[in-house]
A and B are shown apart, each in its own frame.
Chain A
Amino acid sequence: MSNGYRTGLTALALSLGLTALAIPAMAQVKIAFVDPLSGSMAPIGEHGVKHFQYMIDKINAKGGVNGQKMELLTYDNKLSPQETVIAAQKAIDAGARILTLGNGSGAAAAMIDFVNKHNDRNPGKEVIYLNYAAVDPAFTNDKCSYWHFRWDAHADIKMAAITGYMKSNPKIKKVYLINQDYSFGQAVRKSAVTMLKAKRPDIQIVGDELHPLAKITDFAPYVAKIKASGADSVITGNWGSDISLLLKAAADANLQVDWYTYYAGGAGGPTSIKQTGLKDRVFQITEGLANINTKENYAWETDFRKKSAGQGWWYPRVRNEMEMLARAMNEAKSNDPKVFAEKLRGMKYKNIYGKDTYMRAEDHQFFQDMYISALTPMTGDMKFDEENTGWGWKLTATVPMSETDVPTTCKMAKPS
């Protein structure tokens, strides 16, 4: 080993292979998309890229913003908070000052924290984080930041919508809660308990389950428990394999309950629901859906599906986000986040369904009507199915914006 360290030189010489990363800034507005593009969550990230590319193409076709074209840069954060920080750093090196990220509350929390610190330490080079899918309520409450705007309805808003619907449905008497054991799952569970108590005190919560995240291979024991509890409805925030496995086990045990879910519509969800044959029993809460019958919505959905091999427009919020961003930049006549962020605050906007929506200034949370829909085989008045299953989301109820107007604890610190 005496000469072992001699080659330490080689180690360091190797790191010389690191290429300088600075790319000269071009006269383009760069939007950095940071999300998992590899691993099990990659389908979700990759489909997100298509949404943003589609929006950017639309905006550029109309002349871009402030006379400049928009350009999408994509970065893989592998769903890890640390990688998110590295990806954000790479994006900023490449000249992006607008960052967008959706999946994983851990990654989103890291992004908010990173953006806050970056802006604090690099005055004049502020960046902005537009959140299109991370729904931890804390981000627009205790952890709210001037540099963070959220277009997705957070977990509490969605729960307010679900319970708002349950309020008017007297058939629901016994509710079972089953959620993943981490911050998001716990947020869902907590708000379900408090909101149900407030809106329908007569509903009995017969079970309140937390299970480990993405570790369960067989949900049969949980289903046996749900069955034993006599519940007629289940509320769950589960996503990914945790929702498909849960529904599968339920179908196996012939469990007849209604499922109120946050993410049954995620990638692969409709396929597995159809497989279990649970028709008209799985509900999801979203800010929009393909089968809302307006001319503009149908045209939009048809065009997008043509360009993305039949996959649907999952994120109506991406349209809201990008259109509002472009409007704010144009109105502010500036591409500097520090300037146009002010325009985004409190902005009112008419969405694709022709409904009024707004970005609340005090916590940077977007508000809109919410929709509850159920997955069923295609019927006459439905136009779009999901994942070529022949089943589509059918509108069950519209929850008006006023019902979802949850208060915030945010004390926004405005940068000087």
Chain B
Amino acid sequence: MLELVIFSTLNGVLYGMLLFLLASGLTLIFSMMGVLNFAHASFYMLGAYFGFQLSQWLDFWVALFVAPVCVGLVGAAVERWGLRTVHKWGHVPELLFTFGLAFVVEELVQMVWGKLPVDYRVPALLDFHAFELFGTTYPAFRMFMLLISVAIFLVLLMILTRSRIGLIIQAALTHPNMVAMLGHNVPKVFMMVFGFGSGLAGLAGVIAGPALVTQPSMAHVLGPILFVVVVFGGLGSLPGAFIASLLIGLIQTFAIAINYSLGDALSAIGMARPMQGVLSDLWQVTVAQVGPVVPYLMLVLILIFRPTGLMGTREN
């Protein structure tokens, strides 16, 4: 049991940190530009594929630095020639633009790299077991992922709280109009933030690609969860996104470890298990089965009771 708890915690934190890498960029974009970027997970996928391609041609360590930059440039280009054109029509068309973009990116990736998973491997340098506990090993690459995500989180924190550009971004998170009034080139800031956010997503892709499978559906699977993280944490709140990422990572991992159903709970308190009726299936379902659904339930509940999210200060 103890090893299950330890490994679940490790995996949960790792998954949470990965989510945060993606969510931090998304929440920046969302808060500043008001764009719910449906294509954000597509940038994550692009990162994984760029990383794969570059590590085929050159080396994983080159890919680690170059691929996120490439994705960031793609992101900036999308903002400059796509979103900015749509911006004048309002927020809904912007969102729909990213919706369509996610579609197109997935198709293009399928065309270029095929529909099957690609053989994106852990670099030889990190292809060993970091430690062994109760007979279960933990791969070094996962520790590396964890380190990278924590490092990025710290750097992000430093930039946002200690640097001038960070102050502008922070100001723009809460008072976007005021920042524009003060003479900052808001479109340029937008482009940079969008590029930076996409680059972060790309980085997440580069490091997640070898650990998880790099395939065309990887964006689609992760997309909706990101919105849950951002909205649950509170719009425009990086600490909120951080807490939400970890919370959802841990909940998802621990839910899997629990094998009890509602029916078991009823039996435990001495009640009969309902066997008939439309909802009878509900009593049979174990916590492990509904694990992946829990984040959506959390999203709906928090929005009903606290529309600003966990740590957010504004709704729109």
Contact = CB atoms under 8 A, between A and B. Distances in A.
B138 A228 contact: no
A248 B117 CA distance: 12
Contact of B217 (A40, A218, A252, A272): A40
A271 B116 CA distance: 10
A281 B8 CA distance: 25
Contacts, number: 100
A224 B257 contact: yes
Interface in A197-219: 209-212, 214-218
Given A218-B15, A252-B139, A254-B136, A224 B3 contact: yes
A347 interface: no
B253 interface: yes
Interface residues of B, number: 42
B201 to A, nearest CB: 15
Contact of A43 (B116, B121, B135, B139): B116
A216 B255 CA distance: 13
A222 B221 CA distance: 18
B288 A252 contact: no
Interface in B203-246: 211-213, 215-218, 221-222
Contacts of B1: 228
B184 interface: no
A73 interface: no
A244 B117 contact: yes
Interface in B239-292: 252-253, 256-257, 286, 288-289, 291-292
A317 B36 CA distance: 48
B175 interface: no
A220 B286 CA distance: 19
A248 B213 contact: yes
A145 to B, nearest CB: 27
B153 to A, nearest CB: 19
A244 B216 CA distance: 14
Contacts of B291: 212
A51 B229 CA distance: 45
Contacts of B139: 252-253
A221 B257 contact: yes
B188 interface: no
B314 interface: no
Nearest to A44: B115
Contact of B253 (A39, A181, A221): A221
Interface string A248-273: 10001111000000000001100110
Given A220-B11, A228-B4, A209 B221 contact: no
Given A241-B213, A253-B138, A224 B4 contact: yes
A169 to B, nearest CB: 23
User: Which of A40, A216, A217, A227 has the most chain B CB within a 10 Å cutoff?
Assistant: A217
A211 B292 CA distance: 9
Interface in B132-181: 132, 135-139, 141-142
A111 B304 CA distance: 42
Contact of B292 (A215, A225, A227, A255): A215
Contacts of A221: 7-8, 11-12, 252-253, 256-257
Contacts of B3: 224, 227-228
Given A211-B288, A224-B3, A241 B117 contact: yes
A35 to B, nearest CB: 14
B288 A268 contact: no
B288 A209 contact: yes
A322 interface: no
Interface in A231-259: 241, 244-245, 248, 252-255
A253 B117 contact: no
Nearest to B225: A217
B315 interface: no
A216 B252 CA distance: 10
A42 interface: yes
A83 B131 CA distance: 50
A267 B116 contact: yes
A275 interface: yes
A252 B210 CA distance: 11
B59 interface: no
A241 B220 CA distance: 13
Given A181-B289, A252-B142, A218 B11 contact: yes
B140 to A, nearest CB: 10
B221 A214 contact: yes
Given A225-B4, A271-B116, A211 B289 contact: yes
A396 to B, nearest CB: 25
B115 A43 contact: yes
A365 B132 CA distance: 49
Contacts of B121: 275
Nearest to A220: B11
B212 A245 contact: yes
Contacts of A268: 116-117, 215
A224 B289 contact: no
A227 B7 CA distance: 11
Given A40-B115, A241-B117, A268-B117, A222 B211 contact: no
Contact of A253 (B136, B212, B213, B288): B136
B215 A241 contact: yes
A225 B286 CA distance: 15
Contacts of B141: 252
Given A254-B136, A254-B137, A268-B116, A224 B212 contact: no
B88 to A, nearest CB: 24
A206 to B, nearest CB: 12
A288 B256 CA distance: 36
B14 to A, nearest CB: 8
Given A43-B115, A221-B257, A254-B137, A215 B221 contact: yes
A222 to B, nearest CB: 6
B129 interface: yes
Nearest 6 A/B pairs, CB to CB? A268-B116, A254-B137, A224-B7, A221-B256, A252-B139, A220-B11
Given A211-B256, A220-B7, A244-B117, 12 more contacts: A42-B115, A43-B114, A211-B288, A217-B222, A221-B11, A221-B257, A225-B4, A228-B1, A245-B213, A252-B211, A253-B137, A268-B215
9 contacts: A217-B218, A218-B15, A221-B256, A221-B257, A222-B256, A224-B7, A248-B212, A253-B139, A271-B119
